[in-house]
């Protein structure tokens, strides 16, 4: 079982590939069905962002461990235009339907940890993590 | 001049890696040689302390041999993987069989003492030798003890966790009252985890029972903050996506105030005062009508007849 | 990915069989809108049971589809949204406002029957 997988993102067809791979890697960790769907949906949103704003980029999936916690890390990176105002982009005024919505605050809600680094003209890197709930299994 | 005096004061010489390895091997051989004797001693002590209740002779025999040998292997190799594996398995079986902490830890402590005493005996005329031997032996014994203790604790925690989940599920039942109608009475304080669990359970039940209306009663919920209000709205919205209408009942004036303050659009939510009203509303939504049956067949009438 | 589209009396039923790319979804939308006009249908059912993810694009596309179909005089019902998907959608903040939803095909057909028989001319919700 691989610990890290990276998928090149070049077109919208990679969106489905990326989220399916994400789900595939997350299953053996013991996530519930709902959590798997949350992960796949979050991946869909950030990869979609890459396709829409940067045209190309990469999605990496890692199995992570911290102490006795296990989880999955999703890293979406691109060399696109970058986000000028991250604070604004992360504001929870996510409009349902307007193409201006970056889907980032939504993705953040679906995951446990969310980090975004972006520089105008250089690119964007989003790191999201979800941990397996110890009590649930 | 001063240097020499200090050197003479040092009683114990620092062990070299070679001498340590040799001593370690010596100890391993010693314990292997005395295996049957020490093992029997150990079993005797445990029996005397009543730690072996509920185990068959065969089990005592097999387990004690395995444990004894595993400790020796750890002493010899300095590797604890075998001990780790064995401890995990034993914890699982032990907890399953209802063995107590006393039995498991007590058994190991007894073994540690038996090994220790045997070393005292061997080195009784050689304090330096005893000290060196203990330096090698004690860390091993202690490490194994903590490995076992931790495995046992982890196993116990796992079971408690499972039990807690089961209790949680039982305390938030989704009840099917009629065809297509579910009632979800929520009682007590809700945290995010429980709220999520409730929502997931409800949605699965909507699918399983093909419910069209859910009466969610929050009479038993003392207070609502923005997080819980959010969960409430999410539950209503998610149910709607699955074709079910949620009627929220039992909203106290205080909670109503809180919801309004939080900006929740109560007007959009289908709310009714109490559970009974909620069920009546649900009936209407489902197209049911309640009709009073003929007086002759009703219970009241029957009782009167008997009198 | 071809989505089978069946005509059932006055209704059209589209049964999604596998995950759809963005292009597939747009094609489905345009196909359905076209057929509604072609057959003068009064109701459309889109079965998304198989979809294990409904993201912002899928939601937007289904909404615009329902809107376009409504402009052609028909009602759309989305059926088969799974519990995990419904949960994720509300967490993400996606709303299918203005689009009817039902548990499955059977319920969807019943819903259309009720609305059309009652002569309910209300647009949207």
pLDDT at res. B104: 83
Query: Tokens in use for B295?
Result: 């007086």
Measured CA to CA in angstroms, residue B292 lies from B41, B64, B217, B289, C50 at distances of 82, 75, 26, 10, 45
User: How large a percentage of chain C has pLDDT more than 90?
Assistant: 84
- Indicate the average pLDDT of chain B: 84
B25 and B157, same domain (yes or no): yes
B157 and B179, same domain (yes or no): no
A135 touches chain B (CB under 8 A): yes
Would the pTM of this model clear 0.80, i.e. be above it? no
**For residues B95-113, average pLDDT:** 84
- Report yes or no on B297 lying in a domain: no
A99 touches chain B (CB under 8 A): no
B151 and B23, same domain (yes or no): yes
B270 touches chain C (CB under 8 A): no
**For residues B37-44, average pLDDT:** 92
pLDDT at res. C65: 97
Q: Which of A81-95, B54-68, C46-60 is predicted least confidently?
A: A81-95
Residue with tokens 């993102």: A9
Measured CA to CA in angstroms, residue C46 lies from B204, B210, C78, C81, C117 at distances of 21, 18, 5, 10, 20
- Report yes or no on B245 lying in a domain: yes
Number of domains composing chain B: 2
Residue with tokens 């299994």: A137
Residue C13, H or E segment: strand C11-15
- Report yes or no on B1 lying in a domain: no
- Report yes or no on C124 lying in a domain: no
Which pLDDT band holds residue A100 (cuts at 50, 70, 90)? very low
Which pLDDT band holds residue B307 (cuts at 50, 70, 90)? very low
**For residues A76-85, average pLDDT:** 92
Domain containing B45 equals 15-163
B27 and B97, same domain (yes or no): yes
Specify the CATH number for the domain of residue B215: 3.30.750.24
Distance CA(C67)–CA(C19), nearest Å, equals 23
Number of domains composing chain C: 1
- Report yes or no on B294 lying in a domain: no
| B204 neighbourhood in chain A, CB within 8 Å | none
Residue A52 pLDDT more than 60?
Answer: yes
Distance CA(B281)–CA(C111), nearest Å, equals 19
B223 and B103, same domain (yes or no): no
How many angstroms away from the CA of C5 is the closest CA of chain B?
22
B85 touches chain A (CB under 8 A): no
Which pLDDT band holds residue C125 (cuts at 50, 70, 90)? very low
CB B215 within 8 A of CB B249: yes
- Report yes or no on C97 lying in a domain: yes
Which pLDDT band holds residue B247 (cuts at 50, 70, 90)? very high
How many angstroms away from the CA of A45 is the closest CA of chain B?
19
B153 and B274, same domain (yes or no): no
**Which one of A15, A34, A41 has the shortest CB-CB distance to C92?**
A41
Specify the CATH number for the domain of residue C27: 3.30.750.24
Measured CA to CA in angstroms, residue B135 lies from B10, B81, B117, B130 at distances of 18, 21, 15, 8
**For residues C46-63, average pLDDT:** 96
User: How large a percentage of chain B has pLDDT more than 90?
Assistant: 33
Residue A115 pLDDT more than 80?
Answer: yes
B200 touches chain C (CB under 8 A): yes
Give Rg (Cα) of chain B.
35
**For residues B158-166, average pLDDT:** 79
Q: Which chains are within 8 Å of A by 3+ CB pairs?
A: B, C
pLDDT at res. B302: 53
CB A106 within 8 A of CB A97: no
CB B117 within 8 A of CB B45: no
Q: If interface means Cβ-Cβ distance under 8 Å, which residues of chain C face chain A?
A: 19-23, 52-57, 59-60, 63, 83-85, 87-88, 91-95, 97
ipTM over 0.90: yes
Distance CA(B272)–CA(B287), nearest Å, equals 18
- Report yes or no on C20 lying in a domain: yes
Domain containing C25 equals 5-117
pLDDT at res. A13: 95
**For residues A47-73, average pLDDT:** 93
B191 and B278, same domain (yes or no): yes
**Which one of B165, B196, B200 has the shortest CB-CB distance to A135?**
B165
Please tell us whether the domain made up of A4-131 is placed in CATH 3.30.565.10. yes
More confident residue, C34 or C124: C34
B127 and B186, same domain (yes or no): no
Distance CA(A131)–CA(B12), nearest Å, equals 52
- Report yes or no on C69 lying in a domain: yes
- Report yes or no on B4 lying in a domain: no
Q: Taking the alpha carbons of B109, B114, B120, B123 in that order, is the dihedral positive or negative?
A: negative
Q: Taking the alpha carbons of C89, C91, C94, C98 in that order, is the dihedral positive or negative?
A: positive
pLDDT at res. B297: 64
B145 and B184, same domain (yes or no): no
CB A15 within 8 A of CB A65: no
Residue B201: closest CA among C102, C84, C70: C84
B268 and B225, same domain (yes or no): yes
Measured CA to CA in angstroms, residue B264 lies from B222, B227, B249, B257 at distances of 18, 12, 15, 10
More confident residue, B103 or B164: B103
CB atoms within 10 A of CB B21: 12
B228 and B269, same domain (yes or no): yes
What 3-state class would DSSP assign to B133?
Answer: helix
Say how many CB pairs under 8 Å bridge A and B: 9
CB A123 within 8 A of CB A79: yes
Q: Please state the separation of Cα C40 from the chain's center in Å.
A: 16
**For residues B16-22, average pLDDT:** 85
How does pLDDT run across B248-299, given as a tens digit for each residue?
999 988 888 888 888 888 777 888 888 888 888 898 888 887 777 777 666 6
Residue of B181, B241, B268, B285 to mutate, testing the C interface (most C Cβ within 10 Å of its Cβ): B241
Specify the CATH number for the domain of residue B98: 1.10.490
């Amino acid at each position: 079982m691989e610990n890290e997988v990276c998928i090149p993102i070049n077109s919208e067809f990679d969106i489905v590939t990326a989220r399916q791979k994400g789900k595939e890697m997350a299953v053996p960790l013991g996530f519930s069905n709902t959590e798997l769907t949350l992960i796949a949906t979050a991946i869909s949103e950030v990869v979609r962002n890459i396709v829409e704003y940067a045209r190309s980029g990469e999605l990496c999936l890692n199995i992570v461990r911290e102490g006795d916690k296990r989880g999955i890390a999703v890293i979406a990176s691109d060399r696109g235009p970058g986000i000028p105002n991250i604070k604004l982009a992360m504001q929870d005024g996510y409009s349902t339907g307007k193409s201006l919505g970056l889907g980032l605050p939504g993705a953040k809600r679906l995951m446990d940890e969310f980090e975004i680094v972006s520089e105008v003209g250089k690119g964007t890197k989003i790191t999201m993590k979800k941990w397996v709930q110890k009590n649930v299994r | 001049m001063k240097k020499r005096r200090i050197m003479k004061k040092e009683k114990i010489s620092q062990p070299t890696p070679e001498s340590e390895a040799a001593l370690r091997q010596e100890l391993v051989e010693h314990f292997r040689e005395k295996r049957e004797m020490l093992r029997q001693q150990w079993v005797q002590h445990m029996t005397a302390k009543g730690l072996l209740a509920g185990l068959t002779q065969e089990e005592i025999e097999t387990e004690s041999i395995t444990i004894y040998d595993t400790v020796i292997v750890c002493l010899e190799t300095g590797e604890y993987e075998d001990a780790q594996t064995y401890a995990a398995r034993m914890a699982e079986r032990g907890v399953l069989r209802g063995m107590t902490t006393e039995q498991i830890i007590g058994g190991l402590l007894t073994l540690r003492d038996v090994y220790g005493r045997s070393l005292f005996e061997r080195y009784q005329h050689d304090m330096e030798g005893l000290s060196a031997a203990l330096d090698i032996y004690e860390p091993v014994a202690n490490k194994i003890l903590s490995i076992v203790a931790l495995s046992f604790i982890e196993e116990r925690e796992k079971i408690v966790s499972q039990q807690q989940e089961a209790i949680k599920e039982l305390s938030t039942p989704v009840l099917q009252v009629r065809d297509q109608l579910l009632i979800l009475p929520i009682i007590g304080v809700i945290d995010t985890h429980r709220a999520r669990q409730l929502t997931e359970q409800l949605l699965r039940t909507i699918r399983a029972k093909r419910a069209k209306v859910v009466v969610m009663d929050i009479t038993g919920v003392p207070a609502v903050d923005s997080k819980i209000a959010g969960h409430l709205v999410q539950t209503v919205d998610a149910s709607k996506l699955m074709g079910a209408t949620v009627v929220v009942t039992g909203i106290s004036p205080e909670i109503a105030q809180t919801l309004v303050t939080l900006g929740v659009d109560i007007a959009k939510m289908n709310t009714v005062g109490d559970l009974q009203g909620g069920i009546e509303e649900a009936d209407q939504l489902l197209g049911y009508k309640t009709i009073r049956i003929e007086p002759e067949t009703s219970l009241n009438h029957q009782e009167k007849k008997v009198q | 990915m071809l989505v089978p589209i069946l005509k059932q009396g006055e209704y059209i039923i589209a049964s999604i069989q596998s995950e759809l790319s963005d292009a597939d979804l747009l094609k489905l939308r345009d196909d359905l809108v076209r057929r509604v006009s072609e057959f003068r249908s009064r109701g459309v059912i889109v079965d998304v049971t198989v979809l294990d993810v409904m993201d912002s694009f899928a939601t937007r596309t289904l909404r615009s589809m329902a809107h376009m179909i409504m402009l052609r005089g028909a009602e759309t019902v989305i059926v088969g949204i799974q519990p995990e998907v419904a949960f994720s959608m509300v967490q993400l903040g996606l709303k299918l406002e203005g689009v009817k939803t039902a548990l499955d095909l059977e319920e969807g057909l019943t819903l259309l029957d009720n609305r059309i028989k009652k002569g309910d001319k209300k647009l949207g919700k």
